[in-house]
Amino acid sequence: MKSAGFLAAVVWLLGMPAVSHAGAIADPAALKHRLEALVQGKDGRVGICAQDQKGTAVCVRGEERFSLQSVVKLIAGAAVFDAADRGLTDLKEPIVVKPENLSLSVQPLAKIVEREGVFRTNADDLVRRAIVDSDSAAVDILIERLGGPAKVDQFAEGKGILGIRVDRDERHLQTETVGLRWKPDYVDAKVLQKAMKAVPEAERDAAFEAYQKDPRDTATPRAMTEFLAALMNGKLLSTGSTQKLLAIMAETVTFPDRLRAGTGEGWAVAHKTGTSRTWKGVNVATNDVGILTAPDGGKIAVAVFVADSRETPTQRSAIIAGAAQAVTEAYR
């Protein structure tokens, strides 16, 4: 006999609407109170928003801007699938990844290219790598093929979601936040690390403070949840692309101690995480956004952003898990 969790996962993987008896957020006021209590006294800013399939939304700091970090990989992946839906790109067209196409930070592709010299793939595979493995090289290649960050930004805006900004690829964002400007030589991690160590402390401080205030490459929790809700309700992409993207999100391997850790038995999670570097004890972004599917097939879109925090990584993850627990327990 299949478990409730398995059946719930099958429901959203098939792109089926929630069954008529599916639940929703039963008491929005009570949930808001619980979320506010969760973040009270925490170091830094915490933005949370949850929206069920009936359109009921509950947010804490829902209109403030938070750095996306690797959450952008979900948005870019959706933009690629949308381009394919409109016949503007072929997901199976061969792509050859060479050393000069690499990026920085987390990029498992770099090991393959280092070993093989080149890596032959396609956009379908790169979307999966960008989301599941949070591969920066994969998303930078996809963004370039789309025509640059502005095309990703225009995709979200074109869907009527106005609180999301995508301004830079990973190469440029991550180097600028540490006081550098991207150079092709930085595809070599050793060269990049040496350059980072050479940045004067005062310049690093200034770059970090500028990053904290920068509206670029940010989203509001409300807008991010609207994006997720459009996806879960089949209004963002074609049915086939919706099924594919949800299935990819369900395979995400990064940070299982965030949203996944807060959901109870029988719930399924399709999500994308994002995390910034920490400088002098302060972390700008610890994020997790996703779609939680209840045992009865109903879905809730959830976005949680923890910003400018001196909490430990475990504590920041616990905030996100706590938000997921509160949201799922509010579902009836």
Inside any domain, residue 180: yes
DSSP secondary structure string for all residues of 128-176: HHHHHS--HHHHHHHHHHHTSHHHHHHHHHHTT--SB-----HHHHHHH
pLDDT at 5 over 60: no
* pLDDT at residue 22, as a whole number: 86
**Assigned domain for 207 exists:** no
- Tokens at residue 166, please? 């995508």
CB 108 within 8 A of CB 120: no
| Whole-number Å distance between alpha carbons of 121 and 297 | 34
| Same structural domain, 153 and 188 | yes
Is residue 206 a part of any domain in this protein?
Answer: no
Tell which residue, 294, 304, 314, 216, has the closest CA to residue 39. 304
- Of 196, 198, 138, 212, nearest to 170 (Cα)? 138
Is 50 exceeded by the pLDDT of residue 254?
yes
73, containing H or E segment: helix 72-85
Angle at the Cα of 29 from the Cα atoms of 28 and 30, rounded to 5 degrees: 90
Tokens for 285?
């972004």
Does 128 share its domain with 156? yes
Residues 317 and 236 in one domain: yes
- Strands across the sheet containing 57-60: 57-60, 45-52, 299-307, 286-293, 268-275
Q: Answer whether residue 208 is part of any domain.
A: no
pLDDT band for position 2 (50/70/90)?
very low
The single-letter code of the amino acid at 65 is R
For position 20, what pLDDT does the model report?
Answer: 52
Q: Which residue in this structure is represented by tokens 């870019």?
A: 76
Helix or strand (DSSP H, E) at 125: helix 123-132
- Look at residue 89 and tell me if it is in a domain: yes
Domain of 155?
A: 74-199
Residues 132 and 187 occupy one common structural domain: yes
CATH number at residue 118: 3.40.710.10
Quickly state the pLDDT bin for 99 (edges 50, 70, 90).
very high
45 belongs to a structural domain: yes
If residue 289 lies in a helix (H) or strand (E), which one and from where to where? strand 286-293
| 179 and 82 co-located in one domain | yes
Q: How many CA atoms lie within 13 A of 200 on its CB side?
A: 3
Closest CA to 33 of 5, 11, 60, 70: 60
- What average pLDDT is seen over the chain? 94
Q: pLDDT by residue (tens digit) across 109-166?
A: 999 999 999 999 999 999 999 999 999 999 999 999 999 999 999 999 999 999 999 9
Task: Give yes or no: residues 181 and 99 share one domain.
Answer: yes
Q: Among 175, 199, 223, identify where a domain stops.
A: 199
- What confidence score (pLDDT) does residue 21 get? 61
Determine the pLDDT at residue 117. 96
The whole-model pTM stands at: 0.93
Among 150, 168, 199, identify where a domain stops. Answer: 199
**Do residues 115 and 42 share a domain?**
no
User: Is the separation of the CB atoms in 326 and 38 below 8 Å?
Assistant: yes
Do the Cβ atoms of 211 and 279 come closer than 8 Å? no
Give yes or no for residue 169 having a pLDDT over 70.
Answer: yes
Q: Are 180 and 193 in contact (CB under 8 A)?
A: no
pLDDT, position 180: 98
In a domain, 99, yes or no: yes
pLDDT in tens, 44-71: 999 999 999 999 999 999 999 999 999 9
Judgement on whether residues 28 and 136 belong to the same structural domain of the protein: no
Residue 14 belongs to some domain of the structure: yes
- 194 and 232 in a single domain? The answer is no
In the chain, % of residues over pLDDT 70: 94
Place of tokens 């904290």: 212
Q: Which of 56, 52, 82 is nearest to 158 (CA)?
A: 82
Write out pLDDT tens, residues 187-246: 999 999 999 999 999 999 999 999 999 999 999 999 999 999 999 999 999 999 999 999
End of a domain among 199, 232, 254? Answer: 199
Overall number of domains in the chain: 2
Q: Are residues 118 and 35 in the same domain?
A: no
Alpha-carbon torsion 31, 37, 38, 44, what sign? positive
> Within this chain, do residues 15 and 52 fall inside the same structural domain, yes or no?
yes
Together in a domain, 151 and 179: yes
